Each structure stands twice: as structure tokens, then as C-alpha cells.
Amino acid sequence: MKKTLKLSAVIMLAVISNAVKAQTVNTAVGANVLTAITLTENSQMHFGTMTVPTTVATVILSTAGARTNTGTINLLAQAPLAVAAAYTVAGEPDATYAITLPTSTSISNGGGGNMIVNSFTCSYPLLVGQLSGFSGEDNFTLGATLNLASSQATGIYAGTFNVSVAYN
């Protein structure tokens, strides 16, 4: 009888001990699936028309499409005119997004003449935008600096560069 009582007490302690140690928490789990973010080019960047410089020169294109220059170069008001690159971003309403710009790109005239475009700037200086809470869209523009050599070769110069956006 004593053995049975002792055994019962040991079993009871083990059960109570395990009940005290065991705890259960019901944890929620979820996911948030956003609308895919898209980037659409509305206008291509163009530095406009200019004369051949007699010294090293730059043409600085603002995010508003205005040009300034350094060096001995004349900026002409004839077609094609200067225009900043413009983009529309679409996605999840109210979401913020990051803009990634290139460091530089090269443009060429197809006949051996090359120029470097660098110092890209954005209408959002911190490179962060926010999509409209209503439409889920936003717009931004880019400017940059065109670097011309002394006696830069004439011609129609073209090239490309990559811009990307991603949700924050």
C-alpha cells in the first residue's frame, strides 16, 4: 500500500510538473501581397542642340529640362530641344519606393565620337517617392551632365541608360 501510495504521488508530481512547464500560445500568421510596381518612360532625355566647343565643356540638364553650360559652347534653341527624362511609377497606393540611377553612360554618334553622361539628378533628391493613395501612381524626372571634349566630333549622338524602382 505504501508503495502504491508513493508511486501515485510520484506520478501525480510528474503530471503536475509537466502541466506547470507546458504552455501553448496561438500565434497569428499572415502575408501582404502588393500590386507589382511598374516604371513607364514618358519622355527620353535629350540635351538639345549645341555648337562644337573650342574647349572642354559641359551641358547640365536640370530635372525641369533647363540647360546651363560650362566652357566655350553655345546652346541653341532649335530642334531637337532639351528635355528631361520623365517617368510614371504605378503600384500599391500609398506605398513608398526607391529610385536607382546610373552613375554614367556613354553616348556615340556612330562615327567614333563619344561623350559621357554622368551626375544624374532626380526630381526627388533623396531618391524616394510615394505612390498616390488614390491612383497608386507617381511621376519623377531626371537630369544629368553631358561632357564634351574640345572640338567634339559633330553628329547625332545616342545611347541608353537604366533607371529602376523598387518598393521600400
Q: Model confidence over 81-138: pLDDT tens digits?
A: 999 999 999 999 999 999 999 999 999 999 999 999 999 999 999 999 999 999 999 9
Neighbours of 153 (CB within 10 A): 15
Q: What is the DSSP string of 99-159?
A: EE--SEEEEE-SSS-EEEEEEEEESSTTSEEE--TTTSEEEEEEEEEEEE-TTPPPS--B-
Position 90 in a domain? yes
Coil, helix or strand for 82? coil
Four-CA torsion 105, 110, 111, 114, nearest 10 degrees: -10
Position 120 in a domain? yes
49 phi/psi in degrees, rounded to 5: -110, 140
Q: Which has the closest alpha carbon to 97: 136, 68, 128, 120? A: 128
Backbone Cα Rg of the chain: 32
Position 19 in a domain? no
pLDDT at 14 over 80: no
Position 62 in a domain? yes
- DSSP 8-state assignment for residue 111: S
Position 9 in a domain? no
CATH number for the domain harbouring residue 53: 2.60.40
Q: Tell me, what's the pLDDT at 121?
A: 99
Where in the sequence is the domain holding 86, given as residue range(s)? 38-167
Position 28 in a domain? no
Number of domains observed in the structure of the chain: 1
Q: Tell me, what's the pLDDT at 5?
A: 63
DSSP H/E element including 19: helix 2-21
pLDDT in tens, 17-64: 555 678 999 999 999 999 999 999 999 999 999 999 999 999 999 999
* Cell numbers at 107, concatenated: 553616348
Q: Which has the closest alpha carbon to 100: 165, 41, 168? A: 165
Position 3 in a domain? no
pTM for the model: 0.83
Position 114 in a domain? yes
Neighbours of 55 (CB within 10 A): 12
